[in-house]
Amino acid sequence: MREATLAIAFVSRREIRSLNRQYLHRDYVTDVLAFDLSDRHRPGQVSGDIAICVDMALRNAKAYQTSLDRELVLYVAHGILHLLGFDDHSPRDIRAMREKEQEILDYLGSKTGRVVSRKL
């Protein structure tokens, strides 16, 4: 079992672009950023900050005809997966991350009675 300490911030387009520029040297708006703060000397411990762009969630909810709640849950799952070591740079990594996101959303949907299916 892992111990986790997470902070989740819901931010604007301007704020997430600034974070993306400052920490990842990428000058564009994105939907989710995850910052791993785990102590590598404590195996099983996960610690991190997740920044979620509410503006992007609103835009994508409209574009994909889903709810804002659903988009936000997807973004939280996506950020947590990054903190657990999942990446989305290569096609293989993207596929693995999408499968795990779907697994999480299916699980949460079964617990809440909602069906969720769109992936990032």
- Listed by start position, the domains of the chain span 3-112
Question: What's the pLDDT score for residue 3?
Answer: 80
pLDDT in tens, 70-118: 899 999 999 999 999 999 889 999 999 999 998 998 888 755 555 555 5
Tell me, what's the pLDDT at 14?
98
Mean of per-residue pLDDT scores for the chain? 88
Q: What angle do CA 7, 2, 5 make, to 5 degrees?
A: 15
The answer to whether 9 and 52 are in contact (CB under 8 A) is yes
Domain 3-112 bears CATH identifier 1.10.357.20: no
User: Residue 5, SS3?
Assistant: strand
Q: Which residues have C-beta within 8 Å of that of residue 67, sequence separation ≥ 6?
A: 61
Residue 4 has pLDDT above 60, yes or no: yes
Statement: the pTM of the whole predicted model exceeds 0.75: yes
